[in-house]
Chains A and B, each alone.
Chain A
Amino acid sequence: MIEQILSNMWYIRPEIALTITCLAAILADVFFKRKALVAGVVLGGLLASGVLLMEQYGVSAPAFSHMLAVDPFSVYFRGVILVTAMFVVLFSLSSVEINNPRLRVGEYYALIVAMTLGMTLMAGSSNMLMMYLSLELTSLSSYILAGFTKNAPASAEASLKYVIFGALSSGLMLYGISILYGLTGSLDIYAINHVLMTMGANRLALLIAGVLIMAGFGYKISAVPFHFWTPDVYEGAPVTITAFLSVASKAAGFSMLMRFMKVTFIDSTFAGPVGTWALIPGFEFTNILIVLSVLTMTLGNLVAVWQKNVKRLLAYSSIAHAGYMLMGLVVLGNDGFAAVLIYFVIYMFMNLGAFFVVMLVSNKTGSEHIDTYKGLGSRAPLLSVAMAIFLVSLTGLPPTAGFIGKLYLFAALINAKMIWLAIVGALNSVVSLYYYVLIFRNMFLREGTGSTEPLKFALSDNIILFLLLIPTLVLGLYFTPLVQFAQYSVAMFGVR
């Protein structure tokens, strides 16, 4: 038993590195006066974790008696989460609101690492106990981070709303877990699948359990109708944390949902074409997902049109993007999953980029209102052009990467002959154009009312901007490596 545990330690080396980093950050906070050093420690730790993660490339095995699965799928998502965390730490270094002397920045970095740890564990969880624990680790850290600028009333309010919604959803999810446990007598999702396939279960009870558990996932990926916290939290939280939540937290939620769906409810006797699968007979989970997906993207896009705060606008846009990605799940095929994986990397670059620009603008002007962006095209041309590119990419126009993401999603839908869902998705992206355009309309078409002097940004800021901008453009024209990596990474341990 002990030997098994010790030998399994290899599988969680990236997580161990993160744990050590978290502790080191707390210690560094005590000993270093300059808080940028804490950020340095954290960056080093994230990098080390990333290196250790690369060693797991190609591995596919269960760890700790099926508590975690280490497979290409989890490596892919953990990679996305770690890269996002690194960018967020870099953002934080130049954020004015975070580096307020009245705040304890050291804790902030430690919490970011704790949250990253929770999310990487979410990506690999194959036991409902582990799923719940890692979800809560992520959530608890993010509650505090959302309210980190606690003297700002909006931030504290966002944090409270986040806690209440989070606790409610995780309570619902936990009740679903307990019902599923009652139906099958197991917490291991592989064992649950086995029981469901061999013995069957009461359909109604199973559906209730599925819907309740979906509440937990829906909250993490901010799918309608579990999205109510999203705009408030995104608006109230510091921009860096908003960016983190919108990308990494969503990625973790999606990875857990995809694994849960594919492992737990898959029909293991299904003999269709390679790369497609079916859910256990009588379990109509896909219809629920279709409804969720359509509601999520439509509501996200329609409400975003009315927003005046850019952070809030991007919050609704991120809800809409969750809706697009859900379309990839309903296909019930590897191509749909691969499309979601591709989308996530692209979404990471473009969405982080958009939030980074929002942060830089609010650093200089202290405002996130859409009117602040008026005349920005002449005051900060590089920044404005970059923002326009990120927004065009979020809309999904070529030759930016966002187009490739949408292309693969639609391709998966059309290949599965779900034409009408594809049409709904396509029309939604037309709606989304309208509100993304509002931002660059203000930047280029309108004259600023206030100061007209140029905004200057530090070299480091420009470098980060280019680190996000170049992939957004290059992946739009040459996406072979990304697609190959994603297609390789849909493989999960234990399912075909």
Chain B
Amino acid sequence: MMEFKILGIGILTWITFLPVLGMIVVLALPKDSKSVTRWTSLAFTALQLVLAGVIFMNFGRGIPGVNSLDGMQFKELATWIDIKSVSWFGRIHIDYFVGIDGISTPMVLLTALISFIAVLSSWNIEKSVKGYFALLLLLDTGMMGVFVSLDFFLFYVFWEVMLLPMYFLIGVWGGPRREYAAIKFFIYTLLGSVLMLLVILALYFSVAIVDPATGEKMHTFNMLAMMNPANFEPGSILAGLNTYWRYVAYVGLFIGFAIKVPIFPFHTWLPDAHVEAPTAISVILAGVLLKMGTYGLMRIAFPIFPDAAIYFLYPLAFVGFINIVYGALCAMAQKDFKKLIAYSSVSHMGVVILGMAAMNTQGMVGAMFQMFNHGTITAMLFLIVGVIYDRAHTRGLDDFGGLMNQMPKYSAIMVVAFFAALGLPGLSGFVSEAFSFLGAFQTFRWVTIASTLGIVLTAAYMLWTLQRVFLGTLPEKWKDLPDINGREMVALIPLGIIVLVLGVYPSPMLDIMNSSANALVDFVKSGSGLALLGR
């Protein structure tokens, strides 16, 4: 395979750390150069998007990855921390190890795309522009880093790096209840991540590999090594199969990821954060951050604890069902446009959970594809809310009506986004939901049938919303509401095109994911890997 390097540094490092470079440039700019700051940020994210495009073009389809080092593409491996062993404590070796496979590539593409769009839709931020874009770019690096890391320590560092920028972006530039929303987000996520940290350490002390260079046995944070049951040291805390501590560790990891997804009952931070955050940040939250939870489950929790994953499969499907139906019901009850979309995210992420829980190729592909589609569709929805909020300064659904004639272009885009969200055939949301439900139906018949109720509810509230906003009589005060402008179109149209194209011709994405999904399911289910653990 071709090597992709720029100045001797691999493409994944570039795509991850470009935003940090951008941040440094932004911070070095003079204080009152607002438009230069915006254009600089846009340039860096555009560059990132170009790199993502290069990755998309050159990604080797059909290479599964998941747990094999050889299957990882664009990988880079360098020693970060190496502390020699002492008589009573083994060598500490932490790698800078990045690489992508079919699970992470769609997420990398999504992150680059959403970051670019987030910068575009932040154009009308006027309050401390420099600080805003610096934090946004730092957040971008954190997100990208999470999706490319293959070393658990590195993963955790990126995972936590996102927290602080997010806190400030919601807290400083958010809506009226921003302080509450920001701290709630921060505390919830930290709660999950400290549990994850303890699991990481338990895994570290349980897994040992032989260093090829010295022949010395050492513990490791390497995720791929953790996935190999043969590397677990006998007698260590997480050794064995279906043990108490393995279940505890899995649940610890699960809570850490579940808070991000968010899975009921850890979802209560989400409506607050989404509603209070500025538009661009809502887009990032819904478009990328939520995916980290499900990505973590696929990349880490499932392959490292296959026994526990299988053991907890039914509860997982059940929380998926709760998410779908509960989210839809809550969305139905909302009068606030943004809150409605926030709850629709809860519902749609439930589909991802259900698809994952199916533990078959269809369900897994559906879940992965739904992650990508939800990212693009929900980003559109939040942008749409942002557009109307910028003009009318209200998000109350009952305040609107008859906008169809007033804002025709806007209405057309919104209809596409809403139909995609409710899963209309021909748009991308349909493909992924169909896969997820079909996969889940084979494994959990009744839960899936019950979950389809969510589709009906989704259709109901989406259509009802369209009706409330577009039909009826136009209130007097909105008589001179301008239609969507060029910059907003630039942000929305590409997303719309992706939604349309992937709805008709999903194979560009499915080709990337297929073999990895297959390999992941096989790996988790296979007895061969599990047999070794039982010694």
Best-surrounded residue of A423, A433, A478 (most CB of chain B within 10 A): A433
- Pick the residue among B89, B190, B197, B237 that contacts A407 (CB under 8 A): B197
In this assembly, does B83 line the interface, its C-beta being within 8 Å of a C-beta of chain A?
yes
Contact present for B88 and A445 (CB under 8 Å): no
Digit string of A270-281 for contact with B (CB within 8 Å is 1, else 0)?
Answer: 000111100000
Complex CA–CA separation, A410 to B197 (angstroms): 9
Given known contacts A398-B156, A398-B160, A434-B187, is B88 in contact with A422 (CB within 8 Å)?
no
Number of residues from A at the complex interface, CB < 8 A: 42
Residues facing A in B143-195 (CB within 8 A) are 156-157, 160-161, 163-164, 167-168, 171-172, 178-179, 182-183, 186-187, 190-191, 194-195
18 A-B contacts (beta carbon < 8 Å): A274-B87, A276-B88, A335-B88, A395-B190, A397-B163, A397-B164, A398-B157, A411-B205, A414-B202, A414-B205, A415-B201, A419-B202, A427-B191, A429-B194, A441-B183, A480-B81, A483-B92, A487-B83
Q: Are A427 and B194 in contact (CB under 8 A)?
A: yes
A422 to B196, CA, bound (A): 12
CB-nearest residue of chain B to A478 = B81
A363 interfacial by beta-carbon distance below 8 Å: no
- The complex places the Cα of A426 from the Cα of B198 at a distance, in Å, of 8
Chain A residue with the shortest CB-CB distance to B201: A414
Distance between Cα atoms of A491 and B191 in the complex (Å): 36
Q: Which residues of A contact B157 (CB under 8 A)?
A: 398-399
B94 to chain A, nearest CB (A): 10
Give 1 or 0 for each of B118-136: 1 = CB within 8 Å of chain A CB.
Answer: 0000000000100000000
* Given A338-B89, A426-B195, CB of A433 within 8 Å of CB of B171: no
Q: Would you list which residues of chain A between 153 and 195 have a CB under 8 Å from chain B?
A: none
For residue A49, CB closer than 8 A to chain B, the reply is no
**Can you add 12 more A-B contacts, CB < 8 Å, to A407-B197, A427-B191?**
A378-B128, A398-B161, A403-B160, A410-B197, A410-B198, A414-B201, A414-B202, A414-B237, A434-B187, A445-B171, A445-B172, A487-B89
Of the candidates A411, A444, A479, A488, the one whose C-beta lies within 8 Å of that of B201 is A411
Residues of B within 8 A of A397 (CB): 160, 163-164, 190
A30 to B21, CA, bound (A): 55
* A417 at interface, CB cutoff 8 A: yes
Known interface pairs A392-B164, A433-B186. Does A334 touch B172 (Cβ–Cβ under 8 Å)?
Answer: no
A-B pairs with the 7 shortest C-beta distances? A275-B88, A426-B194, A398-B157, A414-B201, A274-B88, A445-B171, A334-B88
User: What's the least CB distance linking B161 to chain A, in Å?
Assistant: 6
The minimal Cβ–Cβ distance linking A54 to chain B, given in whole angstroms, is 22
Question: What are the residues of chain A within 8 A of B418 when measuring CB–CB?
Answer: none
- The answer to whether B86 touches A487 (Cβ under 8 A) is yes
A434 and B187 alpha carbons, distance in the complex (Å): 7
Judge whether B461 is part of the interface by a CB distance below 8 angstroms.
no
B186 adjacent to A437 (CB under 8 Å) = yes
Shortest Cβ distance from residue A476 to the other chain B in the assembled complex, whole angstroms: 9
At the interface, yes or no: B204 with Cβ under 8 Å from chain A?
yes
Q: Does A452 contact B (CB under 8 A)?
A: no
Q: Nearest chain B CB to A299's CB is how many angstroms away?
A: 19
Q: Is the CB of B197 within 8 A of A426?
A: yes
Contact A273 B88 (CB under 8 A): yes
Least Cβ distance of B454 to chain A in Å?
Answer: 32
In the assembled complex, the Cα of A417 lies from the Cα of B237 at a distance in Å of 7
Restricting to A372-414, which residues have a CB under 8 Å from any CB of B?
Answer: 378, 388, 392, 395, 397-399, 403, 407, 410-411, 414
**How close is B123's CB to chain A, nearest CB, in angstroms?**
22
- Interface 0/1 of A479-491, CB less than 8 Å to B: 1100110011000
For chain A residues 440-496, which have a beta carbon within 8 Å of chain B?
A: 441, 444-445, 478-480, 483-484, 487-488
**Cβ of B259 to closest chain A Cβ, rounded Å:** 12
Residues of A within 8 A of B171 (CB): 441, 444-445
Least Cβ–Cβ distance between A400 and chain B, in angstroms:
10
Q: Which residue of A lies closest to B188 (CB)?
A: A430
Please name the residue on chain B nearest to A488 by beta carbon: B86
Asked if B194 contacts A444 (CB within 8 A), the reply is no
Contacts of B248 in A (CB 8 A): 419
A478 and B171 alpha carbons, distance in the complex (Å):
31
**What CA separation (Å) do A470 and B494 show in the bound complex?**
43
CA distance A441 to B205 in the complex (A): 37
Inter-chain contact B183/A437, CB cutoff 8 Å: yes
Residues of A contacting B204 in the complex (Cβ-Cβ under 8 angstroms): 411
- Is the pair A430, B191 in contact by a Cβ cutoff of 8 Å? yes
Max chain B C-beta neighbours (<10 A), residue from A398, A410, A433, A483? A398
A333 proximal to B (CB < 8 A):
yes
| CB-defined contacts of A335 to chain B, threshold 8 Å | 88-89
CB-based nearest A residue for B89 = A335
**Closest residue of chain A to B192, judged by CB?**
A430
B84 on the A face (CB < 8 A):
yes
- Check B82 for interface membership: any CB of A closer than 8 A: yes
Residue of B nearest to A431 (CB): B187
Mask of B53-88 contacts with A, CB within 8 angstroms, 1/0: 000000000000000000000000000011110111
A437 with B87: CB separation less than 8 A = no
Q: Indicate if the CB atoms of A434 and B201 lie closer than 8 Å.
A: no
Chain A, Cβ-Cβ closest to B128: A378
B172 engages A434 (CB within 8 Å): no
- Rounded to whole Å, the gap between the CB of A415 and the closest CB of chain B is 5
Expressed in whole angstroms, the minimum distance between the Cβ of B253 and any Cβ of chain A is: 14
Partner of A414, one of B86, B182, B183, B198: B198
- Report the Cα distance A66→B508, complex, angstroms: 76
0/1 interface trace, chain B 294-320, chain A, CB 8 Å (1 if under): 000000000000000000000000000
When each residue 89-101 of chain B gets 1 if its CB lies under 8 Å from chain A and 0 otherwise, what string results?
Answer: 1001000000000
Minimum CB–CB distance from B23 to chain A (whole Å) comes to 13
- Cβ-defined partner of A437 (8 Å) among B83, B167, B237: B167
A457 to chain B, nearest CB (A): 18
Instruction: For the complex formed, measure the closest distance between the CB of A398 and the CB atoms of chain B, giving whole angstroms.
Output: 4
For B198, list chain A residues within 8 Å (CB): 410, 414, 419, 422-423, 426
**Chain A residues in 8 Å Cβ range of B163:** 397
In contact, B161 and A484 (Cβ under 8 angstroms): no
Given the interface contacts A275-B87, A334-B89, A414-B202, does A480 sit within 8 Å of B197 by beta carbon? no
Contacts of A417 in B (CB 8 A): 237
Rounded to whole angstroms, the CA-CA distance of A433 and B172 in the bound complex is 18
Q: Which residues of B contact A334 (CB under 8 A)?
A: 88-89
Give the CA-CA distance A270 to B58 in the complex, in Å: 60
In the complex, what's the smallest C-beta–C-beta distance from A257 to chain B, in angstroms?
21
Smallest beta-carbon distance A423→chain B, Å = 6
